[in-house]
Amino acid sequence: MTEIAHFIDNAHVAGKSGRSQPVFNPATGGTEKTVALASSAAVDCAVAAAAAAWPAWAKTPSLRRARNLDRFKTILWERTDQLAEVISAEHATVV
């Protein structure tokens, strides 16, 4: 079964707490995946990574930030079908 890991400092990080929770498909009621529950240490690591990234982002000129966000929007539009499938699986709606 697929486990959803954490995403910290631009990397997928496996959960180390030993705890997880099932992710159900609401359409079938079956378990599709599991999600790793974070330990306090993992949360601290994520907060530290975000705090470390903030100064560089804060110094980024607003035009460059806008370009980054526009690129993100373009990626979302390019992957509309994939996003619809994921949302459908998570919420049991038909695409």
> 1-59 pLDDT, tens per residue?
888 899 999 999 988 899 999 988 777 788 888 899 999 999 999 999 999 999 999 99
35 and 78 in a single domain? The answer is no
The length of the chain is: 95
Supply the range of the domain harboring residue 81.
61-90
d(CA 19, CA 64): 40
Indicate whether 95 pLDDT > 80.
no
- Please report the pLDDT score of residue 93 as a whole number: 54
What is the token pair recorded at 57? 């982002």
Both 51 and 11 in a single domain?
yes
Same domain, residue pair 55 and 65: no
For the segment 70-88, what is each residue's pLDDT rounded down to a tens digit? 999 999 999 999 998 888 7
- Structure tokens given for 60: 């980024």
Residue 95 lies inside a defined structural domain of this protein:
no
Total domains, the chain: 2
Q: Phi and psi dihedrals of 9, rounded to 5?
A: 55, 45
Q: Are 49 and 32 within one domain?
A: yes
Instruction: Answer yes or no: do 12 and 45 share one domain.
Output: yes
